A and B are shown apart, each in its own frame.
Chain A
Amino acid sequence: MLLTGISVIFIRNLFAVVVLAGMFSLLAAVLYVVLDAVDVAFTEAAVGAGISTLLLLGTLALTTDKELAKTKIKIIPLLLVIFTGSVLILGTRDMPNFGDAKAPANLHVAPRYIEESMKETGLPNMVTSVLASYRGYDTFGEVVVIFTAAIGVLILLGQGYRKSRRGSGKIINKNSGEAE
């Protein structure tokens, strides 16, 4: 998994990079199964390895699949990354051990979900009951975010944009470029 991540840096053919990204997602899904998160693995396999790769390929078809810049290691970003990584690893010394049932994250609201959700919602799958019931506000927000993203894509590349491009040759919209 690490290997696929690192090879993304060095490969210049963007098609290969996209396929590697899909592989990366699939490996992440396998890792989630090992870590008991079956729902998450399901989503990652469907979304990360499926739809996401498809969208990236679609973008490649619309733009180009060759990277122009030479891939040489840049020193300053590398130093910055190593520095940040070391600081973060130093920070993990205070974290609870892997798989610790007494870790603070597993003692706050989770026991209540595990013990009560069957009685209160009648559903054996805790992930579903927490997702839709206990954390309904969160999920509602997420759905609205997805909705907004779809509207954003429609605005950026929707019918108005296609017409303007087809109609008068090539209209360069400066604002869209400067927004990035």
Chain B
Amino acid sequence: MDFPGLINYWIVIILMMVGFYIVIAQGNLIKKIIGLNIFQVSVFIFYITVGKVSDGSAPIMAAGIDTYSNPLPHVLILTAIVVGVATTALGLAMIVRIRTAYNSIESDEIERAEILEDDK
């Protein structure tokens, strides 16, 4: 295990943990969604770095280039990004509905409102 060889994984893990912390520790639902996005991007970066080959170039055929980076992770992540934004939009739509139902986008306030409702 040499130092520079694995640094990409460490960056990914730190980013992932930042996203994870936002998701579990922040009460605001929009912040939670952004945290999920950060988590998601860290996974994307993980895939892309795995596919990177030293001295490789972008995977588009051209004369005089022999080494290409791995195109497979690119394909997977390309579709994942668009799916990610579609699911984010779904989450945001849910937040808008929650806001109209509970008049709040803070998770602890929503919990309190639910307890009040149960007591009735």
Interface string of B53-92 (1 = CB under 8 A from A): 1101111111000011111111111111111111111101
Interface string of A51-69 (1 = CB under 8 A from B): 1100110111011100111
Within 8 Å CB of B87, what residues of A?
145, 149
Tell whether, in the assembled complex, residue A174 and residue B70 are in contact, meaning their CB atoms are under 8 Å apart. no
Within 8 Å CB of B117, what residues of A?
174
* Chain A interface, >50% SS class: helix
Tell me how far the C-beta of A151 lies from the nearest C-beta in chain B, rounded to whole angstroms. Answer: 10
In the bound assembly, the distance between CA atoms of A92 and B51 in angstroms comes to 16
Please, how many residues of chain B have a CB less than 8 angstroms from a CB on the other chain? 92
Tell me how far the C-beta of B82 lies from the nearest C-beta in chain A, rounded to whole angstroms. Answer: 6
Tell me how far the C-beta of B79 lies from the nearest C-beta in chain A, rounded to whole angstroms. Answer: 4
Which of B4, B10, B22 contacts A9 (CB under 8 A)? B22
Evaluate whether A106 and B53 lie within 8 angstroms (CB atoms) in the complex, with A40-B78, A173-B97, A177-B110 already known: yes
Interface string of A75-88 (1 = CB under 8 A from B): 00110111011001
Within 8 Å CB of B5, what residues of A?
97-98, 100
Which of A25, A113, A153 contacts B41 (CB under 8 A)? A25
Among B20-51, those with CB < 8 Å from A are 20-22, 24-28, 30-31, 33-35, 37-38, 41, 44-45, 48-51
In the bound assembly, the distance between CA atoms of A122 and B15 in angstroms comes to 39
Tell me how far the C-beta of A49 lies from the nearest C-beta in chain B, rounded to whole angstroms. Answer: 11
* Chain B interface, >50% SS class: helix
Evaluate whether A77 and B24 lie within 8 angstroms (CB atoms) in the complex, with A17-B34, A152-B93 already known: yes
Tell me how far the C-beta of B5 lies from the nearest C-beta in chain A, rounded to whole angstroms. Answer: 3
Closest 5 CB pairs of A and B: A97-B5, A99-B54, A149-B86, A124-B61, A77-B25
**Beyond A98-B52, A180-B98, 7 additional pairs, beta carbon < 8 A:** A32-B45, A59-B95, A113-B72, A124-B60, A126-B60, A149-B86, A156-B96
Q: What residues of chain B have their CB less than 8 Å away from a CB belonging to chain A?
A: 1-2, 4-11, 13-22, 24-28, 30-31, 33-35, 37-38, 41, 44-45, 48-54, 56-62, 67-90, 92-102, 104-106, 108-110, 114, 117
Q: What residues of chain A have their CB less than 8 Å away from a CB belonging to chain B?
A: 1-2, 5-6, 8-9, 14, 17-18, 21, 24-25, 28, 31-32, 35-40, 43-44, 47-48, 51-52, 55-56, 58-60, 62-64, 67-69, 71, 73-74, 77-78, 80-82, 84-85, 88-89, 92-93, 95, 97-101, 103, 105-106, 109-110, 113-114, 118, 124-127, 130-131, 135, 138-139, 142, 145-146, 149-150, 152-153, 156-157, 161, 165, 170, 172-174, 176-180
